[in-house]
Amino acid sequence: MLTDGTHKPGSVKMGYYALRFLFVNVVHKEWAKEYLPTPKIAKTLPLVLSKEEVFDVLSVIKNFKHRTAIMFIYSTGARVSECVNIKLTDIDSKRVQVNIQEGKGLKQRKLPLSPILLKTLRRYYKQYKPQYYLFEGAGGKGTHLGVSAVREILQKARYKTPHINKRYTPHTFRHCFATHLLEQGTSLLVIQRLMGHSNLSNTLKYLHVQKLATDKVVNPLDKLENVEGLCQK
């Protein structure tokens, strides 16, 4: 796997740890890592859309249920698996929050409920009348929209937004949620909690993709006293 050039670094790393587990836990032999070093995986930055691009994508999704699902992910930063598993009882309109009951690692967290999203969900409820899950599947009560179905929504949207030269997915809108919050001045610690990151390092990556307001930065040269006299021959 290391030399054939046909496997991605992530697959090689998975094979590495599987082999180490076999040696240490099954065969009970010493693992000499110097003979087989851990493969390095390139760290990629998250793909992020601008606010204008987010609006454009939402605009081309004509199905109200599908558009509401993508809007839900963007407004809460929920993972796509969390979105499709949201139940009606998880929407707390009085406390204006969304309760994620089984997030990654079975962790619970509470997310802010946008007034616009709440208004949208009320209209959605009147039209579709879901019984248990917020986004019911084709099977009706007791079923929910599938993760693959949500991915397909955005695959179709990509064909309708050729001016957006980015292969966006449902997870992109989770990245957009965090990045746009950061650009609006939200604390990294707050974003970490909203995203459900156990480690702050997972949240720090958004520092590299945020759009900085460089037009408001005052250059230090301009703040030097009497510098004008040095700008002449």
Written as one string, the DSSP assignment of 139-179 is TEEEEE--HHHHHHHHHHHHHH-TT--S---HHHHHHHHHH
Q: Is 167 a catalytic residue?
A: no
Rounded to two decimals, the pTM is 0.76
- The two tokens of residue 27 are 């065969």
Q: Which of 104, 158, 193, 205 is catalytic?
A: 104
Catalytic-role residue among 66, 67, 144, 174: 174
DSSP-derived pairing of the beta strands 136-137 and 109-112: unpaired
For residue range 138-173, list pLDDT tens digits in order.
887 788 999 999 999 999 999 999 999 999 999 999
Lowest mean pLDDT among 21-30, 60-69, 132-141, 218-227: 218-227
- Non-local (6+) Cβ contacts of 188 within 8 A are 182, 200, 203, 204, 206, 207
Work out the average pLDDT over 169-181: 93
Which is more confident, 80 or 217? 80
pLDDT of residue 5: 59
Q: Does residue 87 have an active-site annotation? A: no
What SS3 state is found at 81?
helix
Position 207 scores a pLDDT of 77
Active-site residue identified among 13, 20, 65, 171:
171
Sequence-distant (≥ 6) Cβ neighbours of residue 73 within 8 angstroms: 80, 83, 170, 173, 174, 177
Quick one: pLDDT at residue 205? 79
Question: How much is the pLDDT for 66?
Answer: 96
Domain 51-208 -> CATH class: mainly alpha
175 is catalytic: no
How far is residue 212's CA from residue 209's CA, in Å, rounded to a whole number?
9
Run of H or E including 136: strand 136-137
Catalytic, 79? Answer yes
Q: Which residue among 79, 109, 175, 180 is the active-site one?
A: 79
Of residues 74 and 5, more confidently modeled: 74
Distance between start and end Cα atoms, the chain = 64
pLDDT for residue 233: 58
| pLDDT for res 168 | 96
Q: The tokens of 50 are what?
A: 């601008």
Question: Is 158 one of the annotated active-site residues of the chain?
Answer: no
- pLDDT tens digit string along 33-80? 655 666 666 667 789 999 999 999 999 999 999 999 999 999 999 999
Is 104 catalytic? The answer is: yes
Q: What is the pLDDT of residues 91-135, one digit of tens each?
A: 999 999 999 886 676 678 899 899 999 999 999 999 999 999 999
Which residue pairs from 63-68 have beta carbons closer than 8 angstroms and sit at least 24 positions apart in sequence? Answer: 63/153, 64/123, 64/124, 64/127, 64/128, 65/124, 65/128, 65/135, 65/145, 66/150, 66/153, 68/120, 68/121, 68/124, 68/135
| Total residues found in the chain within this entry | 233
In whole angstroms, what is the distance from residue 33 CA to residue 19 CA?
11
